[in-house]
Structure 1
Amino acid sequence: MKIKSVEAFQLPMGAGEATSPRCAFVRIETEDGRFGLGEASPMQGGVASLGIIARDMAPYLVGKDVLDHTILLDTLFHKCVKLGPEGATTAALAALDIALWDLKGKLLGQPVHKLLGGAWTTSLPCYTSIGNNSGRTVDEVLRVVERRVAKEKPAAVKIRWDGDRTKQDVDLAGDIAKAKAVRKLLGDDFVIGFDANNGYSIGGAIRVGRALEDLGYMWFEEPVQHYNVRAMGEVAQRLDITVSAGEQTYTLQGLRELIDAGVRMVQPDIVKMGGITGLMKCSALAHAHGVELVPHQTQPTVGHLANIHVLSTIMHLAKPVELADNWERGSPVFVNPSEPNNGRFELPTAPGLGVQFDAVELEKRKIVIKF
């Protein structure tokens, strides 16, 4: 089956179209009118990735066979490698890869997880990921945690800092106080993670990490700047708590470097790390090295569905699936797939990804990227 067209577009996500953040999508359509949807990293609205797709990748794909999936994307990777193998190019390839899997599933009449070898589970627990806590008081942190847990009934909670990445160790004592308060609120047995969002020096990370160990936190995410792999590894090796990283890693080689440095929980993101194909490779790499794979995933629609199809195929799934802030923003275009049901995500059984959306609303809102 030949590819007829490749369309790259942005969508304002949420009810307030003018002020909503924009997410980045791609639609690949075949000669018989069937199509697949993919999603790229939304950083800066994904405009860089969408531009690469529209200018450098779409013309090459038109007329090619959909089932030559791997050859097509490996060719495009090397065709565009001088743009940089990490970042916008890899996110563009992730969107195309997800769209091709969605399309392939529709052509073959099977859900993506079946094409990947089958699902160990069709019901995946979620963890609630709560951001922007660096600017909150202790009481404000507790109120938002309590509200989200009551609404979403998650299997675990992650509190994120989302602070100013140009500053380090801004309020170590205050951060520890918030971590203590959340532990007291949720109880001794509740699973909790702590995401520093690159906010500490090595020394600051060690201090906070020791406190988190005493409090029984399960993991400590990106304590230092993600690009300083040596520092991330040093923190990981000096602490007993599991240190995680990888959401800002775009290649398999980069992920291997984190593992080699000592990181024992890796968190690549499907809309950055080569899509479904890329995340399956990450799963194999993590399994080979005996580390946990717990993907980062904050997009509530296409990226989310692609992510849970992959995670359903992993035999020893270590942690719940991320449910980030503002997951409701998929409405009104998408029949929101990231709404948890009693703390769990149900795996779609329709062909492809199982994306459901309002076609009229999508056409009205989309902003097509052209060259």
Structure 2
Amino acid sequence: MKITDVRAHHIRIPYDAGPASFRQGASAISALDMVIVEVSTDAGLTGWGDAFAYVCPKTSCMAVTEMIAPQARGLEVPDASGIPAVMEQIQRNLHLFGRYGITMFAISALDIALWDLAGKVKGVPLHQLIGGARRTTIPAYASLMRIGNAGHIASECKKAIKLGYSAIKLHETTIPAVTAAREAIGPGVPLMVDMNCPLDGPAAIQFARDCKQAAPLFLEEPVWPPEDFATLADVRREGRLDIAAGENACTVHQFRQMMSAGAVSHAQPSVIKVGGVTEFLKVAVLADEFGVKVIPHSPYFGPGFLATLHLMAIRDEGLIEVFFMKRPACLWGDRIDVDANGHVAVPQGEGLGYEPDRDVMETYRVA
């Protein structure tokens, strides 16, 4: 069975995040941009992948079209054991274009699609190919977008807890914001604080000390630049709080540098950024060797979210990240909704488990 075509679909689904907003530069984002990658074969089977694309969907699409499709067309579809070697070669072929960013986002999409195909060929779900499920549902935490106003933060936190979420993550950079969240949810609910790399070392250490009374489970990416693992280790040690990072790390090699430096207590590979299922599995093995917990970056709703559910199903513990927002449609219907107990069901169908709703794709397609 050979790959006959690789096609990138730009899908944009609007959302309502209440008082929250997310900004990149001067532009407010009011929709979820996804680049869904369709890998067709001469046997009629289709694999689905996902390339990270928050503010660069056209660029991610072009990377798939110009870099990935020529590498993949005519490729004999490997079985599960053969995928790592195929992806290693593609990484080597494309390394001139960078080992992170758009190139790796596009590579991630192909890798996820190959694993989807491997499951479909064998007639089993992805989790069975990668070790076997230990859990049938994964506890979800509500990932709030940046709000700023302490009153609104408290209100949104309470709303998420009432809906069943077992933990909360903020995207805030002030002590009043963190304090407001803790007061709203009480002492027994895990609270995480994602800072998105704003501070130097001394400022991050002070922030960690100042918010310690709110007892965050961890601070996520408090330091700029994100690859400054020595400073991140200083913050972890001197700030006396656990530290999470990894959504901006390049492949397992940079995770090894991060963990060797003692920079993190929680590793956060993102399956649609790090290199797909193949690279995520390597990071998870490494994390176990270092005694680092795995709590993936997964605030998206495409095939990458399904892949993350499978990847967490083979582990005994760990949460899945869900953007706290309302959206008018989903590629998977209501099958990835958080249930009343705050969990998301692991797909049990072949490959990733579900096929995307093509009517939804057409309704929200960006030409």
TM-score w.r.t. the length of structure 2 is 0.89
2:123 to 89, 109, 113: 109
Match of 2:20 in 1: none
User: Matches of residues 267-306 of structure 1 in structure 2 within 5 Å?
Assistant: 267-306=268-307
3-state DSSP class of the match of 2:273? coil
Task: List gaps (5 residues or longer) in structure 1.
Answer: 164-174
**2:2, 2:75 within 8 Å by CA — same for their partners in 1?**
yes
Corresponding position: 1:229 with 2:241: no
Once the two structures are TM-superposed, the CA of residue 51 in structure 1 deviates from its matched residue by 1.6
CA–CA distance in structure 2, aligned partners of residues 216 and 141 of structure 1: 17
- Say which is worse superposed, 2-11 or 109-118, in terms of deviation: 2-11
- Partner-residue secondary structure (3-state), 1:13: strand
Distance in 2 (alpha carbons) for counterparts of 1:285 and 1:231: 21
Residues 1:86 and 2:85 aligned together? no
Q: Which residue of 2 is the match for residue 171 of structure 1? A: none
1:252, 1:282 within 8 Å by CA — same for their partners in 2? yes
Q: Tell me if the contact between 2:155 and 2:184 (Cα under 8 Å) persists in the aligned partners.
A: no
Change (3 A) 1:214 1:106: same
User: 8 Å contact 1:10–1:45 — kept in the other structure?
Assistant: no
Displacement of 1:298 in angstroms is 0.8
Distance 1:332 1:239 in 2: 40
Identity over aligned pairs, percent: 26
Please show how residues 230-245 of structure 1 align to structure 2 within 5 Å.
230-245=230-245
Q: Equivalent residue for 1:172?
A: none
Q: Could you say what the CA RMSD is over the residues aligned between the two structures, in angstroms? A: 2.1
Counterpart amino acid of residue 287 in structure 2 = A
Question: SS in structure 1 opposite 2:188?
Answer: coil
The separation in 1 between residues aligned to 2:328 and 2:198, in whole angstroms, is 29
Of 149, 161, 175, the match for 1:149: 161
The answer to whether the 8 A contact 1:334-1:356 is kept is yes
Q: Tell me which residue corresponds to 1:190.
A: 189
User: Which secondary structure does the structure 2 equivalent of 1:44 belong to?
Assistant: coil
Q: Which residue identity is paired with 1:312?
A: A
Residues 154-173 of structure 1 deviation map (CA, whole Å, 9 limit, x = unaligned) = 11111112x7xxxxxxxxxx
Q: Does 1:344 align with 2:343?
A: yes
- Tell which deviates more after alignment, 276-285 or 38-47: 38-47
One-letter code of the match for 2:176? A
Q: 1:147 to 1:73 in 2, by over 3 A?
A: same
Amino acid at match of 1:43: Y
Residue 295 of structure 1, CA deviation: 0.7
Give the letter aligned to residue 109 of structure 2.
Answer: A
Q: Normalised by the size of structure 1, how large is the TM-score? A: 0.88
Q: Are residues 366 and 138 of structure 1, via their aligned partners in 2, closer, same or farther at CA, if it must alter by over 3 Å? A: closer
SS in 1 for 2:14: coil
1:123 offset after TM fit, Å?
Answer: 1.1
**Is residue 2:213 matched to residue 1:214?**
yes
Alpha-carbon distance change, 249 to 63 in structure 1, aligned in 2, over 3 angstroms:
same
Cross-structure match for 1:43: 54
Preserved CA contact (<8 Å) 1:5 1:28: yes
1:334 to 332, 335, 338: 332
C-alpha offsets along residues 336-362 of structure 1, whole Å, 9 cap, x if unaligned? 443101200111111011124322332
Cα deviation digits, residues 69-102 of structure 1 (max 9, x gap): 3333222211111101111111111100111111
For 2:154 and 2:360, locate their aligned partners in 1 and report how far apart those are by CA, in whole Å. Answer: 37
Equivalent position amino acid for 2:251 in 1: T
Q: Which residue of structure 2 aligns with residue 176 of structure 1? A: 175
Unaligned residue ranges in structure 2 (runs of 5+): 17-28
1:65 alignment partner in structure 2: 76
Q: Name the counterpart of 2:38.
A: 27
Shift of 1:199: 2.3
**For the Cα contact (< 8 Å) 1:14–1:332, is it kept in 2?**
no
State the partner residue of 1:201.
Answer: 200
Letter of the 1:45 counterpart: C
Instruction: Give CA-to-partner distance per residue, 1:256-304, whole Å, 9 cap, x none.
Output: 1211222221111110011111111110010111111111111123111
Q: Deviations over 1:318-350 (max 9, x none)?
A: x32111233x44715431443101200111111
CA distances 1:22-61 after superposition (whole Å, capped 9, x unpaired): 2111111111211011001113333333322211221232
Contact 1:111 1:349 in 2 (8 A): yes
**Which residue is equivalent to 1:4?**
4
* Paired positions, count: 349
Contact 1:23 1:45 in 2 (8 A): no
Q: Distance in 1 between matches of 2:156 and 2:223?
A: 25
